[in-house]
Chain A
Amino acid sequence: MAKQRVVVVGNGMVGHRFIEYLLESPAAGQFEIITFSEESRLAYDRVHLSAYFTGSTAADLALTTREYYRDKGVNFVLNDKVISIDEPNKCVVTQSGRREPYDKLILATGSYPFVPPVPGKEKEHCLVYRTIDDLGRIKVSGSQSKVGVVIGGGLLGLEAANALKGMGLETHVIEFASRLMAVQLDDGGSKLLRRKIEALGVKVHTGKNTREIVEGTTCRYRLNFTDGSFLETDLVLFSAGIRPQDELALTCNLGVGTRGGFTINNNCKTSEQDIYAIGECAAWNNQCFGLVAPGYQMARVVVSQLTGGSEQFLGADMSTKLKLLGIDVASVGDSTARTQGARTYCYNDDFAEQYKCLVVSEDGKLLLGAVLVGDTEDFGNFQQMMLNKMALPANPQGMILPGIEGGKVGLGVDALPDTAQICSCHSVSKGSICSLVQSGTTSVAGIKAATKAGTGCGGCAVLLKQVVDAELTKLGVEVSNSICEHFAYTRRELADLIRVNRIRTFPEMLNAHGKGHGCDICKPAIGSILASFWNDYVLKPEHVGLQDTNDAFLGNLQKDGTYSVVPRIAGGEITPDKLIMLGQVAKAFNLYTKITGGQRVDLFGARIDQLPAIWKLLVEAGFETGHAYGKAVRTVKSCVGSTWCRYGVDDSVGFAIAIEERYKGLRSPHKLKFAVSGCTRECAEAQSKDVGVIATEHGWNLYVCGNGGMRPRHADLLASGLDRATLIKYVDRFLMFYCRTADRLQRTSVWLENMEGGLDYLKSVVVDDKLGLGAELEAGMAAVIATYQCEWLTTLENPEQLKRFRQFVNCPGKDQDLAYVVERGQRRPATAEERKIALVNLEE
């Protein structure tokens, strides 16, 4: 039998996917494929088009190659537009005059950017954002421009704005409607998005209609708006929506939808025999779909139709989750509450910059849609809930409110039916993922490779992992969270084993519960747990090998192998004499000196063999170690407080010092930082600390689990209006509870976020003592406090220990490879280049 000729017009994302599906089908051999594109390249990833501005090349974006098509026998013609369909003779005609007969014709012509009929729109630097060539033009124009305007504040417009901003242009967004992303977001979400975008320096103008584009005076062009106002710009980017590319309909009487697009039925067939339409150019029920996933579904349907199957296209979910200018935005289902009788729950947090809104049915039983701005973690859950018509919990508000009674109501993936589509880009259902897991594909990476799930827009990644983990758990496979290859336990489990069995050393632990020799992960972790509970001197011979170099030498290792010296300066308070002493020591050893972000002084560049002499002077002057090297209590920052400050409510310095003295030396899963402010002006930044204390007229407020660093987190209020004794009691309990239950290197912020029941649970343990652990936790802390020692003092008193601070065990001497140069009056390590020029060793 002769092969059927399948002609695909348009080699965009969907046209190409159709070809792939057809090639993958068992009936592939029955077809001869030829595809036309008016673009100069084969299909590429339009969804990630903007990556072209951040370093991706056309080759990176390519979805296929010429070699691949040739290999598979796919014929392709580039740079040639199909201009008409000769339906009676079953062939297409191209611009270059080529006639190509077909048995089946697939239209996959996509969309084109709509440019409103504004006079001046044809000017040289008025551009659109759809193809790689468009982006090339934008790059050229951008490099000759200072100001850029995007006309259209929809999803693509904001993406385009990001690109302009990335090129360093002063960027404006003009939107005709009264709000940004009017299609996907409600008022509240849109407002927050606007605020965030403006905070990034992009100027947003809503409710503006552009009348004309004329020559400018300060810039290349000037936009005159219908309200009489104007804006000068060098570049104009139109992003006022897309229109289905359906011009071919006119050439052969194909039916089109009321808002354009080739009309298709559930089989994706147009009004004409043997002609199908897929992707953005198709109108199903008068609706065009401007996302790639529905297009892929249509492609699948047509392949099914051509190969004797019966798959149908029955509409598609238009929920979207994306990052616009770095801001997380998601909309689910009927996000703007257009459904008759729809009601909403909204939560807006201007401080955390988060907005969440649920749209529910009139009877409050079903989730119809949602808007998420700032935090889109729940996108997958909400989408599934909406799509699968799952019953809402009794208090739907719990799904968006942070930390209300019982913690956030989540949707367990267990509740999802097997038919639930987890990845809509690649039509992968929960059932198919679960059966893969059951047949041995137990990693997310494996599932991705086998099904492509998660490799499209990426929006399903969180959900995918949840499904895999849940299935593994169901199968009784422990989702491995072993700390390393030597111990099949989490840090929390290790801590329990050590505490309950009163284990005192690493070898004891390894013999009883581990295997192998240990490593740089489990040794310091167990060293830290031993220290949290028994508080032995960390450099005892049986512990010394467990310590990271910082702990082993009681200093922070620097890039050149020297160490830094940070004495404790409790609360940041220091007498002039001690300050002078610090200066003298620094001078004597020529140490680079810097004030730290933790209100103390850091002395850098101490050689290992100098550390004891430096610390001897410091200890004699009354300093103690600052534990800057340990996963331990670091600093308690303070503001000057009521003693001097005219607003101070209470003595923040005094209390900060008392707290630092109490907890100094406490070893913990990760470092701990505290602060005390004397009033709500909060000059000590207590709400960014693990433990933050703020004085109020009614007593001290206690905040916990704040974090600066890589992922800042605002602290939560644990209790308010406390007296000093109660506050200390709560902090004792809080810290010990953390030391016992947190994971290795887990700051209190992440610990709380992973705690079942969240803040309420933490309160119930620490404040209400619901578990009855209070007294025990306090006793644990009392034991640590009672065994405090300044590790440097202990070390200096122990000649055996001091031997470890020799550079060489077999001779005196120092590391000869150290080299320094002077900068701003102090020395710093020489760079590799400087070393090449001359070895400038300033020591002596």
Chain B
Amino acid sequence: MNAISSNWVTVCSEDDLVCGSGVCALIETGGKPQQVALFRETAAGPVYALDNHDPIGNANVLSRGIIGSQGDKLVVASPLYKQHFDLQTGECLEDKTVKVPAWKTRIHEGQVQLKI
């Protein structure tokens, strides 16, 4: 990722999100396509963005996992083998050596934006 020109990139409209669940969007970073999993618990709540790729199951599926909490952490469970990933940091709770990329997000004029 390009650290110097870090800026907000519009991904999709707020209406494209599904409350209580995830969706997948495609962006480009550094000239490469990147699948992003976007989650939101409630209508006005914050939006979380993780890489859609499940590094343990090795498939692009994280957006299709169930979201919830473990202790005070918000997590998504991979639909393949059920490992939990921290929605804020991308860290895998079952295996600390595994971490998926996570992005900061914001809603700007009805659009979901990621900080790249």
Chain A positions near chain B (C-beta within 8 angstroms):
485-486, 516-520, 522-524, 541-542, 544-549, 552-553, 557, 559-561, 608, 804, 807-811, 813, 815-817, 832
Q: Which residues of A contact B16 (CB under 8 A)?
A: 809-810
Q: How far is the CA of A608 from the CA of B35 in the complex (A)?
A: 15
Q: Which residues of A contact B27 (CB under 8 A)?
A: 810
Q: How far is the CA of A815 from the CA of B24 in the complex (A)?
A: 10
B46 at the binding interface (Cβ < 8 Å): no
B65 touches A809 (CB 8 A): no
B65 touches A520 (CB 8 A): yes
Q: Which residues of A contact B60 (CB under 8 A)?
A: 561, 815, 817
B79 touches A810 (CB 8 A): no
- 27 CB < 8 A contacts A-B: A485-B71, A486-B68, A516-B69, A517-B69, A518-B68, A519-B70, A520-B66, A520-B77, A520-B82, A520-B84, A523-B66, A542-B20, A545-B20, A548-B79, A549-B64, A552-B64, A557-B61, A557-B64, A560-B59, A561-B60, A608-B64, A807-B26, A808-B26, A809-B17, A810-B12, A816-B33, A817-B59
Q: Mark out the residues of chain B between 65 and 106 whose CB falls within 8 Å of any chain A CB in the assembled complex.
A: 65-71, 74-75, 77, 79-80, 82, 84
Name A544's contact: one of B11, B20, B74, B82 (CB within 8 Å).
B20
Which residue on A lies nearest to B53, using beta carbons?
Answer: A817
A810 touches B26 (CB 8 A): yes
Q: How far is the CA of A817 from the CA of B71 in the complex (A)?
A: 34
Which residue on A lies nearest to B25, using beta carbons?
Answer: A810
Least CB distance, A516 to chain B, in whole angstroms: 5
Q: How far is the CA of A44 from the CA of B67 in the complex (A)?
A: 49
Q: Which residues of B contact A608 (CB under 8 A)?
A: 64
Q: How far is the CA of A549 from the CA of B82 in the complex (A)?
A: 11
Other A-B contacts than A546-B20, A832-B58, 8 sampled, CB-CB below 8 A, are A485-B71, A544-B18, A546-B66, A548-B66, A549-B79, A557-B79, A809-B17, A810-B27
User: Contacts A517-B41, A545-B18, A553-B64 given: A808-B69 contact, CB under 8 Å?
Assistant: no
B66 touches A524 (CB 8 A): yes
Which residue on A lies nearest to B74, using beta carbons?
Answer: A517
Q: Which residues of A contact B74 (CB under 8 A)?
A: 517
B12 touches A520 (CB 8 A): no
Q: How far is the CA of A418 from the CA of B113 in the complex (A)?
A: 67
Least CB distance, A494 to chain B, in whole angstroms: 16
User: Contacts A520-B77, A545-B67, A560-B59 given: A811-B26 contact, CB under 8 Å?
Assistant: yes
Q: How far is the CA of A692 from the CA of B53 in the complex (A)?
A: 43
Name B61's contact: one of A519, A561, A808, A810 (CB within 8 Å).
A561
Q: How far is the CA of A485 from the CA of B64 in the complex (A)?
A: 22
B80 touches A559 (CB 8 A): yes
A544 touches B25 (CB 8 A): no
Q: Which residues of A contact B38 (CB under 8 A)?
A: 809
Least CB distance, A360 to chain B, in whole angstroms: 50
Q: Which residues of A contact B23 (CB under 8 A)?
A: 804, 809
Q: How far is the CA of A524 from the CA of B75 in the complex (A)?
A: 15
Least CB distance, B63 to chain A, in whole angstroms: 9
Q: How far is the CA of A522 from the CA of B69 in the complex (A)?
A: 11
Chain B positions near chain A (C-beta within 8 angstroms):
11-12, 16-21, 23-27, 33, 35, 38, 41, 53, 57-61, 64-71, 74-75, 77, 79-80, 82, 84
Q: Which residues of A contact B35 (CB under 8 A)?
A: 808, 815
A810 touches B11 (CB 8 A): yes
Least CB distance, B75 to chain A, in whole angstroms: 8
Q: Report which residue of A808, A813, A817 has the largest number of chain B beta carbons within 10 angstroms of its beta carbon.
A: A808
B59 touches A807 (CB 8 A): no
A552 touches B21 (CB 8 A): yes
User: Contacts A548-B79, A561-B61 given: A517-B18 contact, CB under 8 Å?
Assistant: no
A520 touches B20 (CB 8 A): no
Least CB distance, B111 to chain A, in whole angstroms: 10
Which residue on B lies nearest to A560, using beta carbons?
Answer: B59
Q: How far is the CA of A546 from the CA of B16 in the complex (A)?
A: 19
Q: How far is the CA of A816 from the CA of B59 in the complex (A)?
A: 11
Q: Which residues of B contact A815 (CB under 8 A)?
A: 35, 60
B66 touches A557 (CB 8 A): no
User: Contacts A810-B16, A811-B26 given: A545-B66 contact, CB under 8 Å?
Assistant: yes
Least CB distance, A562 to chain B, in whole angstroms: 9
Q: How far is the CA of A516 from the CA of B73 in the complex (A)?
A: 10
Q: How far is the CA of A545 from the CA of B33 in the complex (A)?
A: 27
Q: Which residues of B contact A518 (CB under 8 A)?
A: 68-69
Q: How far is the CA of A553 from the CA of B66 in the complex (A)?
A: 13
Which residue on B lies nearest to A563, using beta carbons?
Answer: B64
Name B24's contact: one of A808, A817, A832 (CB within 8 Å).
A808
Least CB distance, A604 to chain B, in whole angstroms: 14
A559 touches B59 (CB 8 A): yes
Least CB distance, B70 to chain A, in whole angstroms: 7
Q: Report which residue of B20, B27, B41, B79 has the largest number of chain A beta carbons within 10 angstroms of its beta carbon.
A: B20
Q: Which residues of B contact A832 (CB under 8 A)?
A: 58
A804 touches B66 (CB 8 A): no
Least CB distance, A536 to chain B, in whole angstroms: 15
Q: Report which residue of B59, B70, B84 has the largest number of chain A beta carbons within 10 angstroms of its beta carbon.
A: B59
Q: Which residues of B contact A519 (CB under 8 A)?
A: 66, 68-70, 75, 77
Which residue on B lies nearest to A608, using beta carbons?
Answer: B64
Q: Which residues of A contact B12 (CB under 8 A)?
A: 809-810
Which residue on A lies nearest to B26, using beta carbons?
Answer: A808
Q: How far is the CA of A747 from the CA of B53 in the complex (A)?
A: 33
B57 touches A808 (CB 8 A): no
Least CB distance, B100 to chain A, in whole angstroms: 15
Q: How far is the CA of A544 from the CA of B59 in the complex (A)?
A: 22
B26 touches A813 (CB 8 A): yes
Q: Which residues of A contact B75 (CB under 8 A)?
A: 519
Q: Report which residue of B25, B27, B66, B71 has the largest number of chain A beta carbons within 10 angstroms of its beta carbon.
A: B66
Q: Report which residue of B19, B23, B33, B53 has the largest number of chain A beta carbons within 10 angstroms of its beta carbon.
A: B23
Q: Which residues of B contact A810 (CB under 8 A)?
A: 11-12, 16, 25-27
Which residue on B lies nearest to A813, using beta carbons?
Answer: B26
Q: How far is the CA of A811 from the CA of B41 in the complex (A)?
A: 23
Q: How far is the CA of A485 from the CA of B41 in the complex (A)?
A: 18
Q: How far is the CA of A808 from the CA of B68 in the complex (A)?
A: 22
Q: How far is the CA of A552 from the CA of B23 in the complex (A)?
A: 12
Q: How far is the CA of A548 from the CA of B38 in the complex (A)?
A: 17
Q: Report which residue of B24, B64, B80 has the largest number of chain A beta carbons within 10 angstroms of its beta carbon.
A: B64
Least CB distance, A91 to chain B, in whole angstroms: 59
B25 touches A520 (CB 8 A): no
Q: Which residues of B contact A486 (CB under 8 A)?
A: 68-69
Least CB distance, B43 to chain A, in whole angstroms: 10
Q: Report which residue of A541, A549, A832 has the largest number of chain B beta carbons within 10 angstroms of its beta carbon.
A: A549
